Structure 1
């Protein structure tokens, strides 16, 4: 049996069966023409060969993974150009998956897991998109001008171990970038639209469950479903059976809302929408889903919309027996969508013997809407916003959110989405909307003000992130408790709460909520590994911190877990006295900091992002970095070290005094001493720290007795006695 390492490309036509049903002969001829005119010559041009043809797809082998990725991108661009010239029902769109792995050679055919993974990755790709494994991304990221966006660990059908997947960024405006840079270390999420309040009790004598409590005891970050005795449920992605496949956003939005609403039912545990989404468009066995997600019950169904008529089919399955507990069909008008959702939730509560005791409209308490037109515009915006979008598409999503808010000025989730959109803006996106960056920043707080009138979980998430930046972690913790209470199924709420608690000096509690995040969304990811490592580090448990931080994928295009995690990892290894690891990871840290363009690797950068409440916590981190040799100040500081003020001197000479000079630095804000640094937090501005030096030649009249050195700037000033 011969084996070899190969790059395998798997391609499959989207909607092939539907096209064949409409026009069998025409579809066959169009597909054959595309294969002869495009696929075969393009694959050959990139030194590959097709070893298997299926009715609606193909498998090809390449000796070079670079050739495989270049070929896939060329195919998708060429198909997009051809599709632009034909009607919608005649377009041929494909999904492509690429894997690098060992294959079994048998004549002209290829078998084995290397082939199987490529085929499964293809199923994860978007229509017209490309999905690759981590091995592929790692091999080509520095050789090709394409960016890669992480999709997280994916559980693939009939593949034993989860596979880290990446989406290839085809947009030329992001070519060469590892991923779109967010200004905060978090994952983007689908925003739940709250509809219909349900207050449910578990039997007559059941106790209320406080949804903000972690659903599992803090025993480990790996979830143990058996420790949770509540009824547990996953809402699998509803199928879109509408003739207009572009209305898939309705099924996605309906699934999201059901997940959120059911998660608010006291006594019922619901897995996150993110975890359930990995099963979209896949044939799965109920027992396998239940085992993988640690739940007993599975809700699945479909939604069909024809004009204003809607039909929703849903069924509840017991994963332990695969028996159907309940199945029902709901018919109504699109204007009845909220009532239909309420009926589904009430019916499930009844099937699980959860008793409805009272209810009232929830639109106001969770930022939702009762306006069907506003709801639909919002869902259209979210469908675009949550995929890898071009700047023009991003602008389109913003316009949908604005339309939703115009249709319902009380639609808090739409306002929060607009705030998030303006917060996530980069240069090309700002240009697409014809705004300046200052206007975009202004709009963040403008729409947060609108969202505050009818707060949603996404509103609280952004507010907490901004509060942490401003060194206000007490308030951030309180805000994130509200977010968790509104949507206990969202792992980002728990991770956001863990972040606030870590910086608030409560790392043991942070760990509790990371357990909760892993329960609603099984499987770790780099952001959780970083937060878990930070929680262990905050308790002086350096060995345990290293264990989590070592799991961060340093090859991932996402810069934030590396940026944060490497600083903690280097400090932890320094505290442990492991010089070899300190040296190795210090080099990687310097490279990541240079990529961030934050002034190189120094402790002023660290203090800008690690906004601990307690001096001991930042001291622990800086002491380790000091031992590791990370400089305190940027390169090129030409001031004499003997003129630098100590922390105690800053307290006595600077704090509490009026300052004169200093340009833009002197402003109204909160100042404090952090080791031998002066730190400041201003409203709506990230925390900044600097070193203070005496100026031997300075005078009060010239307002230059002292010099403050920050990451990029320095200011001369004097104090008023």
Structure 2
């Protein structure tokens, strides 16, 4: 058996299955065109060897890892130029992974860990991007003109030890696009981020013991890790109507400073708790657990802008540094960079070199688009239906000015994701249109991802029972803004439903560090983590801390489900009855339906059946019925879980939807749990599984729904109505036809 050291490049098309379902022949033709016209000439130019193609991917071997990386970057450059004018649905975005390691040679083929690691790493690259292993990084870090930003140690499938992974930012391409784009647009975050390195919080392979890395107070941080809060900047003069500019500037500085290696920055939410309040610096410093405070003011008159900033020692309340910056609004990004550089100098930190500032956090360098985005964000924060309509228009305006403004696209997707009945009515959109527009916005945001893009995408993936994928996305979000507490809360949620409650609680502690204090959502996540470990008393203690008068009903909606199940497990019928009455009212008010176990299965999307059954068992003991009374059919026996699994797995079903509308449907369920279906003129695909005695489905459009399956004693194969599936909002009658 021959072995040798080789540099390996693996490329794979992101979303190939989805593209192929829409246009199988066209997608394949585009893949072969890219292979012949982009990959093969560049592989030859950089002395590589195309080992083989693998469906929608390819494996390439190089004698030099430097050549392998240069080839990967040139491929992505060529692809970006080639697809510049192509419609999104016709673009193939490749993820590329590069590794150097030992390979086994068999004829013209190679395999082994060197190949396996490259394959796993490419899955961590962004669509249209490149990632490399730590081993490859050690060989190329001083030999290539590319910015290499650490993604930390990653646990990857079938590789026993975590693998160091680095993202490759093509500085040359970024600089070229700056020079050639109208208004000098740059692919930075909207504040020209000061560093790519993750700061203060190392969030890989978390355990409770590792959390000594995150200081609980600035004394623990020590001299090597200054800690900072950016207090909300004031607006001066008669420009109070432009408060959104000061808020946006403060938030952007928070993100920029959080990415400077060696400094810990609390979240925007934590600092903004002190907006319009007169509190002594020493008290703020103590409350937030930081040593330094940045405060200031911003004044804008026409295009003229003046920024005053000062850095305060929270321990002594003394001023370390103060400076005034004058400029034009069109230069706001340069001003932000200057402030960050000055603060870093005052803290005696050394910023990474300028190439480290480039990133893919979805920003803009168009000040008009930036202002529209800030105005939209401020209006959305008001929460009224009219303000939501205006926010939507402003986000769209920002995207019209800069279609590459990923943060604006993500904000638009988030707006649609959070739309309720009142907001959708104000927007003049049906729920189907809301889902479609959310998908369109997310596809735009995916080209230049921001933390919000990852957060919304992860929320949706969790609801589709894809928490594995959600966790990977959120781990990419952390380096973009280590001070964004919501990333940690969403990650805690994903880990809870992934069956990893201890890690979930650790990430909740990370959220508490960057934004001290308990919220209703955090009490719910803490209760979810305790419940996931079977610690019902501890879960109750956390969940009962949720404010019953909270303006948002959703933490109570979720928390009361867990609370009711916990009381059921512990055998407290009186308390269970009281919670059940509260939950029945919440379900009716927030979800518009009747309390039953189908509600829990729609929202609590556990990956592990045992976790789901723990929740359902407690609800059963607390008197919650499996189905709403209005939906129970007058049919025959209900099928058990094994009977349901045997009936549908690997078969094709056909019949009709009989409620709330009538339409024919067909559904093919493959042995791996994937399905393709049509309902009238609409096609849909997703996954199917059985938990307990329920049949559950998940799709990107309809998220998760579960049903009970009954025999129809008067049904027939000819009528295709031998069985009936009872979902929350619909019923299907069907027969197995293949």
**Is TM-score (shorter-chain normalized) higher than 0.5?**
yes
**What is the alpha-carbon distance in structure 1 between the residues aligned to residue 632 and residue 506 of structure 2?**
46
Say which SS state the counterpart of residue 335 (structure 1) adopts: helix
**Which of 492, 497, 500 is residue 503 of structure 1 equivalent to?**
497
Other-structure match for 1:380: 375
Other-structure match for 2:488: 494
Asked if residue 197 in structure 1 is aligned to residue 193 in structure 2, the reply is yes
Q: Give structure 2 stretches of 5+ with no counterpart.
A: 1-187, 658-662, 668-676, 678-684
CA contact (8 A) 2:631 2:728 kept: no
Asked if residue 274 in structure 1 is aligned to residue 246 in structure 2, the reply is no
Residue correspondence of structure 1 range 253-272 to structure 2 within 5 A: 253-272=248-267
Q: 1:518 to 1:409 in 2, by over 3 A?
A: same
**Which of 296, 312, 323 is residue 307 of structure 2 equivalent to?**
312
Other-structure match for 2:585: 591
Other-structure match for 1:321: 316
Asked if residue 690 in structure 1 is aligned to residue 707 in structure 2, the reply is yes
Q: TM-score, normalised by structure 1?
A: 0.69
Residue correspondence of structure 1 range 292-441 to structure 2 within 5 A: 292-360=287-355, 362=357, 365-391=360-386, 393-441=387-435
Say which SS state the counterpart of residue 320 (structure 2) adopts: strand
Say which SS state the counterpart of residue 322 (structure 2) adopts: strand
Deviations along 1:593-641, whole A, 9 cap, x unmatched?
A: 2223443111011101110000111011111111111111110455468
Asked if residue 675 in structure 1 is aligned to residue 697 in structure 2, the reply is no
**What is the alpha-carbon distance in structure 1 between the residues aligned to residue 463 and residue 556 of structure 2?**
19
1:241 to partner: Cα distance = 1.2
Deviations along 1:486-528, whole A, 9 cap, x unmatched?
A: 1111111110100111111111110001101111111101111
Deviations along 1:248-307, whole A, 9 cap, x unmatched?
A: 111111101001111122321111111111211222211011111111111111111222
Residue correspondence of structure 1 range 522-537 to structure 2 within 5 A: 522-537=516-531
Q: Give structure 1 stretches of 5+ with no counterpart.
A: 1-191
Other-structure match for 2:216: 224
**What is the alpha-carbon distance in structure 1 between the residues aligned to residue 313 and residue 254 of structure 2?**
17
**Which of 693, 699, 723 is residue 706 of structure 1 equivalent to?**
723
Other-structure match for 1:719: 736
Q: 1:561 to 1:622 in 2, by over 3 A?
A: same
**What is the alpha-carbon distance in structure 2 between the residues aligned to residue 677 and residue 257 of structure 1?**
47
Other-structure match for 2:284: 289
**What is the alpha-carbon distance in structure 2 between the residues aligned to residue 363 and residue 558 of structure 1?**
38
CA contact (8 A) 2:639 2:710 kept: yes
**What is the alpha-carbon distance in structure 2 between the residues aligned to residue 516 and residue 208 of structure 1?**
10
**What is the alpha-carbon distance in structure 1 between the residues aligned to residue 340 and residue 366 of structure 2?**
19
1:414 to partner: Cα distance = 1.0
1:553 to partner: Cα distance = 1.4
Q: 1:290 to 1:216 in 2, by over 3 A?
A: farther
1:219 to partner: Cα distance = 7.7
How many residues align structurally? 524
Q: 1:595 to 1:432 in 2, by over 3 A?
A: closer
Q: 1:431 to 1:684 in 2, by over 3 A?
A: closer
**What is the alpha-carbon distance in structure 1 between the residues aligned to residue 280 and residue 190 of structure 2?**
30
Q: 1:508 to 1:441 in 2, by over 3 A?
A: same
1:470 to partner: Cα distance = 1.1
- RMSD between aligned residues: 2.5
**What is the alpha-carbon distance in structure 1 between the residues aligned to residue 196 and residue 714 of structure 2?**
73
Larger CA deviation: 631-640 vs 541-550: 631-640
Say which SS state the counterpart of residue 720 (structure 2) adopts: coil
Deviations along 1:420-449, whole A, 9 cap, x unmatched?
A: 223333455445444444333321111111
Deviations along 1:208-234, whole A, 9 cap, x unmatched?
A: 9646787996889x9932554432111
Q: 1:506 to 1:641 in 2, by over 3 A?
A: farther
Greater length-normalized contact order (CA 8 Å, ≥ 6 residues apart): 1
Asked if residue 580 in structure 1 is aligned to residue 574 in structure 2, the reply is yes
Q: 1:586 to 1:712 in 2, by over 3 A?
A: same
Larger CA deviation: 581-590 vs 664-673: 664-673
Deviations along 1:23-62, whole A, 9 cap, x unmatched?
A: xxxxxxxxxxxxxxxxxxxxxxxxxxxxxxxxxxxxxxxx
**What is the alpha-carbon distance in structure 1 between the residues aligned to residue 527 and residue 309 of structure 2?**
41
Q: TM-score, normalised by structure 2?
A: 0.67
CA contact (8 A) 2:709 2:726 kept: yes
Deviations along 1:451-492, whole A, 9 cap, x unmatched?
A: 111111111111111111111111111111122221111111
Other-structure match for 1:13: none
CA contact (8 A) 1:242 1:303 kept: no
Asked if residue 643 in structure 1 is aligned to residue 642 in structure 2, the reply is no
Larger CA deviation: 588-597 vs 311-320: 588-597
Asked if residue 474 in structure 1 is aligned to residue 472 in structure 2, the reply is no
Q: 1:653 to 1:616 in 2, by over 3 A?
A: same
